[in-house]
Structure 1
Amino acid sequence: MNRQPTPYQPSWRKPVGTFAIVGLIALWAIMIGSLSGLIGRLPMVAQVPVYIFLGLVWLWILPLKRLLAWMETGRWRRG
């Protein structure tokens, strides 16, 4: 019983997800640029946590983590 492996079929989710990631990063950059005048008024000690929060939570943890899981598995949540 000699079974031949099925040829690899690339998923359409990866290119679509890649364009979505680039779009989210562009939206994030526009948002940060428009908020920079407001954030720039804060002392430097307060600016660092704001930028860390906006970079990690808003960009990575909320949308990109689920988007990457969807690109890989086809589901929005791992599991």
Structure 2
Amino acid sequence: MNPSWRKPVGAFAIVALIVGWCVLIASFSATIGRWPILIQLVFYVFTGIVWIVPLKPLLLWMETGRWRVPR
């Protein structure tokens, strides 16, 4: 069995996604810093979970080469 090129590319894409998401959220820190603490908490918890959404299709692609589960 030959190793797939999708796994290293997918791993790089995951790291790029995390770094890009962190930079995007951090760019709003001046505005978010003026919000009440509880609103900030909700925002950061929400944005800390949302970045996981694109991982399912990416991980599926890494394993199978398809973006969606076949029906």
TM-score normalized by the length of structure 1: 0.79
State the distance in 2 between where 1:75 and 1:50 align.
Answer: 32
State the distance in 1 between where 2:64 and 2:18 align.
Answer: 22
Is structure 2 residue 52 aligned with structure 1 residue 60?
A: yes
Q: Structure 2 matches for 1:33-72, cutoff 5 A?
A: 33-57=26-50, 59-61=51-53, 63-72=54-63
Q: Which runs of 5+ in 1 are unaligned?
A: 1-7
Amino acid at match of 2:48: G
Secondary structure, in 3 states, of the residue corresponding to 1:20?
helix
Is structure 2 residue 9 aligned with structure 1 residue 22?
A: no
Which structure has the larger Rg? 1
State the distance in 2 between where 1:78 and 1:49 align.
Answer: 32
Secondary structure, in 3 states, of the residue corresponding to 2:28?
helix
Question: Runs of 4+ in structure 1 displaced over 3 angstroms?
Answer: none
Q: Which runs of 5+ in 2 are unaligned?
A: none
State the distance in 1 between where 2:44 and 2:68 align.
Answer: 27
RMSD between aligned residues: 1.2
Percent of aligned pairs sharing the same letter? 57
